[in-house]
């Protein structure tokens, strides 16, 4: 029986070796990862997946998108900047890269990235509800200056690109940004919902984010902050035409971490340039309502530099610092919850509810050992999987745990040899969910 | 009328629609059944393929795979106590308890039948009330959402069978975990200790896998040697009767509680319609709305809970399409992607879609019906295959579950921090479970904690600091009264019926 299993083992290992090794000379030899710092379903995710699908056709290896979300963009940009510079990880960067570090939330800046191409740029725009009294940006400014009530605006979270756009515009018009209440909402979609529900008076966001509500006549666009009018919305003036020199355009681009070998960088750059200029991608942008912003890598690098300065001026200004004063501080809610937790725990402890029910089986020495083994397995996986690769580490952990629980040797060998490669194929091959490749190159 | 005929022809006479429907049903079931992969993930992975498909087929696939993924989330819930989606966490304990008594098939068939009924009820609401309901969703500002989330959180405490204080404790633990990371509304890091990894906070999917899945593995092993049968021996008595017997149970359940099912479907669709509130809240609130006295047989109660929550979370799916189609405001993350796909096909969601693309709208309606009917055979197959899992001896099964916990925690964001989250939550789950603290409320606390805090601060900020903003509009007053009613009812019933408070096993 064991002999048979060993033959299986040899066969599978040979397969693994054949499919994985000795291809490192040519690039790319294994799947690429695209890091998208925003959630599945959003605009950046759609752009990332479109690029990934086309890169995959051109490079001939799978290109998987990972949504490294959280922390308002800190997570994804940090992971992208710190990824191994081997050309197998690219990041779709967004303006948050140039916003977060000004607020001391991360050390990562645009200098940690090697920009390749800019793939899309949408100008900020001002929206009001259809029944709003304001017809022009000037009327909004007048209401901010002379209104009896403070105006409420939103568009996305506090300190986001649309907040900077709005605050910078007010500043350029000589109004302190803290004259308007910025309601910090999770994104442009909830901001639009809030505009409809009457919770805010003005929303600052980009046109594609409001497209359906615009065409439905539920909201009106007062002005765009780009340098030119939008082709599809020719009747919406730019702020510049109305006498303001404030412009702000949000952008998305593809970047590598610093230090990727030049040959690989050039290969990727060439492919990406062709994709971005290609008909298919242009069609995608047009149909999604996104505006193109064709910039080569030098132009993109310059945009990164300039926008970093522009955001810095707004975010560092005294008036913007004033906005940050909030009545309900970040630790109010945790304090309340912790207090309630302590009270409930005290009541439970006094009333006897905290006692362990007597019918529960007691832990045994062997049980504690096994629990420790399982916890250890998870730790080992988290520590070495990236290096070793999913298939190998999964086989080892599966084998060890099966042995520990006293499974028959035959099933131990069979399962730990067969299950990991099959699972890997299903997840990484069929479903395009990234699992670490590691030594076997799988 | 002409449009309806076109739609009928497009949907039912095109063999491609049937093929795509079947394939995406299988795909949806598979993704939903893997803990850690959600309906959202299923659609996100599928979206690049829609570039090469026409609009109707793309919609067919998305509708079918989400309907199937939400049901399939119940399969690992029943068999392994790992909720496949947060929508299943509300009744994970009930389902797993049924499995341990050898009634996995009954539990799953009840869930399947009610998912189908819920999905159809949701479709009916979408078809007949969609345009009028959309108006009500547009009335919801941050203050209303604050009360709605609070209602969801309160439901988690109210529905618990055991002492309410223990459920409250679990909920507070979840709320506390939710505060880790970058606070979106303050834009300042909390409890991150300068570690960039901690900025992302506690992701609820690895947390859920840890709390339910890993903690169950650990609990099984902890007392090994004492109860060999439970730890390493054969699994609990193989599942009950035949699949047909289980289906009959489900049918009887449905027949005997038409009213309850209708109520849960209505609750689900109404909550699903609101952008920012989806299947998970729907499942909890429907349980609270149908809370029964303790006079009924325990097993019947558990089956009824599964029935209610499964109806509500499936009905919520169709509800989410209402604001998406009528206003172009996504009802949930799946419909956000649908809007993207429609825009790519040059179809702009919004009031004009009914005039410009009427046939497509009717086709979407029909798709909902077809998708839910397709769920029946594919779901039964999944239950059948799932039944094989319970026959695997635990000493073989547990290490394999461990492997899937690792994949599930890692796959969603490709982050090793999530693996540590899963581990931490696994140990926490073991400790809480041994003190009989229910784990469902912990998950809900993590899911809604950030949202409820944000809505509070947003509402109060918008009113320049006045807390009265929370009750300044009619809808928010109604929701606030509902919350108060729920709490006072719970406190009142505690005084009225002594014994509920005793901390012995209920």
Option in B141, B188, B414 nearest A68 (CB): B414
Asked if the Cβ–Cβ distance from A184 to B184 is below 8 Å, we say yes
Q: Are residues A116 and A132 in the same domain?
A: no
Please name the residue of chain B whose CA is at the shortest distance from the CA of residue A280. B51
Report the CATH number at residue A281: 3.40.190.150
Residue position matching structure tokens 């560092």 = A316
By the 8 A CB rule, do B327 and B133 touch?
no
- Quick one: A154 and A114 in the same domain? no
Integer Cα distance of B63 and B317 in angstroms = 9
Which pLDDT value is given to residue A346?
Answer: 93
Instruction: Give B-chain residues touching A370 at CB under 8 angstroms.
Output: 221-222, 224
Q: DSSP letters along B189-253, please?
A: EES-TT-GGGGG---HHHHHIIIIIIHHHHHHHHTTTTSHHHHTSPPSSPPPS-HHHHHHHHHHH
**What span, in angstroms and rounded, lies between the C-alpha atoms of A18 and B333?**
41
Contact list in A for residue B350 (CB cut-off 8 A) is: 212-213, 215-216, 218
- Residue A355 belongs to some domain of the structure: no
A106, A157: one domain: no
* ipTM entry: 0.83
On whether both A307 and A271 belong to a single domain, the answer is yes
Strand pairing report for A202-206 and B188-190:
unpaired
Residues of B in contact with A344 (CB under 8 A): 165, 168-169, 172
Q: CA-CA distance, B386 to B243, in Å (whole number)?
A: 12
Question: Cα–Cα–Cα angle for A102, A104, A106, nearest 5°?
Answer: 100
A394-413 residue pLDDT tens: 999 999 999 999 888 998 99
Dist CA A211 CA B131 (whole Å): 19
Decide: B437 and B169 in contact? Cβ < 8 Å. yes
- Indicate whether A421 belongs to any domain: yes
User: What whole-number distance in Å separates Cα of residue B386 and Cα of residue B382?
Assistant: 6
Same domain, A263 and A227: no
pLDDT at A265 over 90: yes
Beta bridge partners of A181: A152
- Is the CB of A405 less than 8 angstroms away from the CB of B186? no
Helix (H, G, I), strand (E, B) or coil at A372: helix
Beta bridge partners of B266: none
Q: Is residue A172 part of a domain?
A: yes
b or e along B277-302 (b: 16 or more beta carbons within 10 Å of the residue's beta carbon)? bbbbbbbbbbbbbbbeeeeeeeeebb
Task: Output b/e per residue, B180-214; b: 16+ Cβ within 10 A.
Answer: bbbbbbbbbbbbbeeebbbbbbbbbbbbbbbbbbb
Selecting from A78, A347, A433 the residue whose C-beta is nearest the C-beta of B196 gives: A78
A residues 203-242 closer than 8 Å to B (CB): 211-213, 215-218
Quote the CA–CA distance of A369 and A364 in Å, as a whole number.
9
Q: Are B402 and A401 in contact (CB under 8 A)?
A: yes
pLDDT tens digits in sequence order for chain B, 506 residues long = 778 888 888 888 889 999 999 999 999 998 888 877 788 878 877 877 887 788 889 999 999 999 999 899 899 999 888 887 778 888 998 899 898 888 888 899 999 999 999 999 999 999 888 878 777 777 788 898 899 999 989 988 887 777 888 999 999 999 999 999 888 777 778 888 877 778 888 888 899 899 998 998 998 898 776 544 444 444 444 445 578 888 888 888 888 888 889 999 999 999 988 877 788 889 989 988 876 655 567 888 888 999 999 999 999 998 889 888 887 777 777 887 888 788 777 787 877 788 788 888 888 999 999 999 999 999 999 998 888 887 888 888 899 999 989 988 888 778 899 999 999 999 999 999 888 899 989 988 998 888 889 888 888 888 877 888 888 888 899 999 999 988 888 777 766 554 444 444 33
Q: Is A159 on the interface with B (CB under 8 A)?
A: yes
Task: Give the tens place of pLDDT for each residue, A206-219.
Answer: 988 888 788 888 89
Please state at what angle helix B358-389 crosses helix B104-138, rounded to 10 degrees: 150
- Residue that finishes a domain, picked among A271, A297, A323: A323
The verdict on residue A207 lying in a domain is: yes
Tokens encoding B479: 């929701």
> What's phi and psi for A405, nearest 5 deg?
-85, 0
Provide the 8-state DSSP code for B187.
T
Pairing label, strands A202-206, A152-154: parallel
Same domain? A211 vs A241 = yes
Distance CA A420, CA A437 (A): 12
User: Is A345 within a domain?
Assistant: no
Q: Which CATH number do you get for residue A210?
A: 3.40.190.10
CB contact under 8 A, A377 and B334: no
Three-state secondary structure call for residue A184: coil
- Domain final position from A323, A352, A370: A323
Question: Does A361 contact B at CB distance below 8 Å?
Answer: yes
Residue A332 inside a domain? The answer is: no
Q: How far apart are CA A388 and CA A383, in angstroms?
A: 10
A70 touches chain B (CB under 8 A): yes
The answer to whether A375 contacts B427, with C-beta atoms less than 8 Å apart, is yes
What pLDDT does B292 receive?
Answer: 61
- Set of chain A residues whose Cβ sits within 8 Å of the Cβ of B140: 193, 197
B434/A33 CB distance under 8 A: no
Q: What is the pLDDT of residues A313-327, one digit of tens each?
A: 888 887 777 665 566
Instruction: Report the chain B residue with the minimal C-alpha distance to residue A378.
Output: B423
Residue A66 covered by a domain: yes
| Cα B427 to Cα B210: distance, rounded to the nearest angstrom | 8
Domain that holds residue A436: 361-440
Structural domains of chain A, count: 3
Is B41 within 8 Å of A68 when comparing Cβ atoms?
no
Query: Does A135 share its domain with A146?
Result: yes
At A36, the pLDDT band (50, 70, 90 cuts) reads very high
CB contact under 8 A, B411 and A190: no
Residue A144 Cα, gap to closest chain B Cα (Å):
15
């Amino acid at each position: 029986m064991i002999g048979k299993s060993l033959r299986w083992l040899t066969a599978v290992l040979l397969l693994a070796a054949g499919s994985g090794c000795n291809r490192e000379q040519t690039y790319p030899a294994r799947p690429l990862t695209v890091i998208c710092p925003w959630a599945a379903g959003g605009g950046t995710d759609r752009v990332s997946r479109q690029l990934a699908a086309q890169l995959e056709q051109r490079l001939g290896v799978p290109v998987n998108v990972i949504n490294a979300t959280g922390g308002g963009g800190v997570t994804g940009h940090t992971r992208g900047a710190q990824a191994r510079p081997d050309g197998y990880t690219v990041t779709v960067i967004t303006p948050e890269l140039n916003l977060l570090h000004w607020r001391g939330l991360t050390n990562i800046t645009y200098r940690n990235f090697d920009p390749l191409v800019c793939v899309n740029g949408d100008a900020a725009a001002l929206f009001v509800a259809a029944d709003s009294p304001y017809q022009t940006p000037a009327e909004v400014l007048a209401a901010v200056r002379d209104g009896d009530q403070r105006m409420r605006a939103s568009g996305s979270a506090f300190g986001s690109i649309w907040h900077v756009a709005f605050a910078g515009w007010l500043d350029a018009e000589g109004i302190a940004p803290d004259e308007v209440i910025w309601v910090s909402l999770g994104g442009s979609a909830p901001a639009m919902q809030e505009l409809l529900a009457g919770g805010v008076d003005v929303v600052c966001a980009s046109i594609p984010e409001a497209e359906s509500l615009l065409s439905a006549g539920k909201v009106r666009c007062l002005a765009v902050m780009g340098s030119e009018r939008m082709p599809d919305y020719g009747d919406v003036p730019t702020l510049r035409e109305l006498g303001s020199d404030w412009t702000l355009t949000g952008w998305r681009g593809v970047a590598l971490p610093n230090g990727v070998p030049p040959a690989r960088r050039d290969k990727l750059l060439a492919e990406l340039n062709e994709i971005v200029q290609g008909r298919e991608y242009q069609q995608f942008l047009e149909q999604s309502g996104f505006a193109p912003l064709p910039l080569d890598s030098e132009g993109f690098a310059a945009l990164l530099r300039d926008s970093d300065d522009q955001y810095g001026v707004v975010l560092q200004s005294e008036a913007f610092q004033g906005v940050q004063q909030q009545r309900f501080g970040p630790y109010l809610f945790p304090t309340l919850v912790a207090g309630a937790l302590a009270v409930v725990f005290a009541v439970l402890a006094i009333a006897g509810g905290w006692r362990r029910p007597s019918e529960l089986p007691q832990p045994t020495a062997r049980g504690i050992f096994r629990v420790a083994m399982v916890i250890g397995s998870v730790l080992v996986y988290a520590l070495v999987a990236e290096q070793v690769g999913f298939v190998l580490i999964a086989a080892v952990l599966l084998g060890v745990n099966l042995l520990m629980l006293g499974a028959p040797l035959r099933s131990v060998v069979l399962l730990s040899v067969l299950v990991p490669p099959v699972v890997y194929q299903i997840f990484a091959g069929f479903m395009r969910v990234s699992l670490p490749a590691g030594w076997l190159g799988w | 009328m002409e449009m309806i005929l076109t739609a009928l022809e497009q949907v039912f006479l095109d063999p491609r629609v049937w093929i795509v429907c079947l394939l995406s049903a299988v795909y949806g079931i598979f993704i939903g059944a893997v803990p850690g992969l959600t309906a959202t993930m299923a659609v996100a992975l599928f979206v690049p393929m829609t570039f090469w498909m026409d609009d109707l087929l793309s919609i067919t696939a998305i509708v079918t795979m989400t309907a199937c993924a939400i049901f399939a989330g119940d399969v690992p819930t029943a068999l392994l106590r790992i909720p496949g989606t947060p929508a299943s966490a509300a009744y994970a304990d009930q389902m797993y308890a049924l499995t341990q008594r050898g009634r996995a098939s009954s539990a799953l068939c009840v869930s399947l039948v009610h998912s189908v009924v819920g999905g159809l009820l949701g479709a009916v609401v979408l078809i007949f009330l969609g345009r009028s309901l959309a108006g009500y969703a547009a009335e919801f500002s941050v203050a209303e959402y604050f009360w709605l989330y609070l209602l969801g959180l309160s439901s988690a405490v109210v529905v618990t069978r055991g002492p309410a204080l223990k459920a409250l404790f679990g909920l507070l633990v979840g709320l506390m975990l939710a505060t880790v990371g970058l606070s979106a509304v303050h834009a300042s890091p909390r409890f991150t200790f300068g570690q960039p990894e901690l900025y992302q906070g506690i992701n609820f999917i690895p947390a859920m896998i840890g709390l339910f899945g890993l903690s169950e593995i650990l609990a099984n092993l902890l007392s090994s040697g004492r109860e060999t049968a439970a730890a390493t021996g054969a699994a609990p008595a193989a599942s009950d009767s035949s699949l047909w017997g289980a289906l009959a149970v489900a049918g009887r359940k449905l027949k005997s509680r038409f009213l309850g099912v209708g109520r849960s479907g209505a609750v689900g669709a109404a909550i699903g319609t609101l952008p920012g509130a989806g299947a998970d809240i729907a499942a909890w609130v429907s349980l609270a709305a149908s809370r029964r006295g303790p006079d009924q047989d325990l097993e019947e109660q558990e089956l009824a809970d599964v029935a209610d929550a499964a109806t509500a979370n499936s009905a919520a799916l169709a509800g989410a399409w209402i604001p998406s189609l009528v206003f172009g405001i996504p009802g949930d993350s799946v419909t956000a992607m649908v809007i993207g796909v429609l825009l790519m096909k040059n179809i702009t969601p919004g009031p004009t879609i009914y005039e410009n693309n009427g046939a497509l709208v009717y086709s979407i309606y029909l798709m909902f019906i077809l998708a839910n009917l397709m769920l029946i055979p594919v779901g039964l197959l999944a239950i059948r295959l799932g039944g094989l899992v319970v026959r695997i001896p635990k000493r073989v099964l547990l290490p394999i579950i461990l492997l899937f916990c690792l994949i599930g925690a890692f796959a969603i964001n490709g982050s090793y921090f999530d693996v540590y989250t899963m581990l931490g939550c696994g140990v926490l789950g073991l400790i809480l479970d041994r003190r009989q603290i229910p784990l469902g409320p912990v998950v809900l606390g993590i899911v809604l904690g950030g949202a409820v805090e944000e809505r509070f601060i947003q509402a109060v900020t918008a009113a320049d600091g006045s807390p009265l903003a929370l009750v300044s509009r009619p809808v928010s007053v109604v929701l606030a009264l509902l919350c108060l009613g729920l709490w006072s009812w719970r406190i009142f019933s505690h005084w009225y019926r002594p014994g509920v408070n005793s901390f012995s096993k209920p």
